[in-house]
Amino acid sequence: MSIEKEWDGFEQDKSVWISQNELSEAYKVKKQYSRIHFLTELPAKENENDEKKVLLYRYIRYKYAKSILDNEDPYLIFSTPENWEDPYEKRFFKGKYDITGSEKYRVKPLAMMCVTTNASENEAASWLMYDRERKNDAVQLTFDFDELLRILNDFAVSKNVDVYVSKVEYVSREELDKHENIRERVKNGMTDEVFMNLMCLKRKSFKFEGEIRFSIYGDGLDIKDNMLKIGLEKRNNLVKQIKVHPDDGVNSVSKDFLQNLYGDKYNIIRSRLYDEKSTFSLKIGDVSARRN
């Protein structure tokens, strides 16, 4: 069975949820991923055998994707919130937390990676968002959830830091502007988990993204130029599939181009977002006769 068929076996319209308890049982207990913390339930897909799988998709410019796909020195890049365009997402990272009755909370080094579980619902918007220059050089990488957790847990253990996994909570601008709403969230005191929940708040304008955030947090991080580099093994199984832009013309990163480079290792497909399967032809009877 090809990788494409294997992953397509999980129906896009058959959505389920995996609870925090299920996730913790599967990974913290059974697989002993001691540094992974699940803050929320996660959306997943289900196949015909009722098996659940969290499918992760990362839209990224090819010039950055090359570091993940490289055969000799592959690595992941996590970014600090300093690099984000949305000022609302930086405010908690730069905030000061002095809560009566609690020890003053100190924000530690933080690096995050954003992915989505919506392969079809937000595809059109994602191609546009990650290809603003219209170069058709963005790709969609399908990540293996289990492999990503293993990689991040090993890294976190080696650096004595923690990894937090959460879906983004989309709220109104008004809720983010009113400090009393935020005070309610921290009324029992500031902890790392409370802080990471704040870092997963985002305005409803971005709800289409369906974001899942992987956050690495702790004093042991070696962050340079607001970026964190996480090395991967040469023969890792992180990427299961590469999808290229639906308009993969001569001047774009095409399926053929990637096939020549990575075809022996990855399943490579082209987005069919704008493909029309057949011409439209509609034949009906006499409408006026039916009305009578």
The reply to whether 62 falls in a domain is yes
The reply to whether 175 falls in a domain is yes
CA separation for the pair 91, 51 (Å, rounded): 39
The reply to whether 285 falls in a domain is no
The reply to whether 32 falls in a domain is no
- φ, ψ for residue 210, nearest 5 deg: 55, 50
CA separation for the pair 155, 143 (Å, rounded): 17
Percent of the chain past pLDDT 90, that is, above it, reads: 53
Q: In terms of residue numbers, what domain contains 206? A: 56-272
Burial of 96 (0-12, 13-18, 19+ CB in 10 A): exposed
The reply to whether 28 falls in a domain is no
Kindly report, residue by residue over 126-139, the tens digit of the pLDDT. 888 887 777 788 99
In the chain, the number of structural domains is 1
The reply to whether 108 falls in a domain is yes
Burial of 18 (0-12, 13-18, 19+ CB in 10 A): middle
The reply to whether 228 falls in a domain is yes
The reply to whether 60 falls in a domain is yes
Kindly report, residue by residue over 172-211, the tens digit of the pLDDT. 988 888 877 788 888 888 899 999 999 999 999 999 898 9
CA angle (78 as vertex; 227, 30 as ends), nearest 5:
145
Max mean pLDDT among 35-44, 203-212, 279-288 falls in: 35-44
Model confidence, pTM? 0.89
Q: Answer whether 44's CB lies under 8 Å from 16's CB.
A: yes
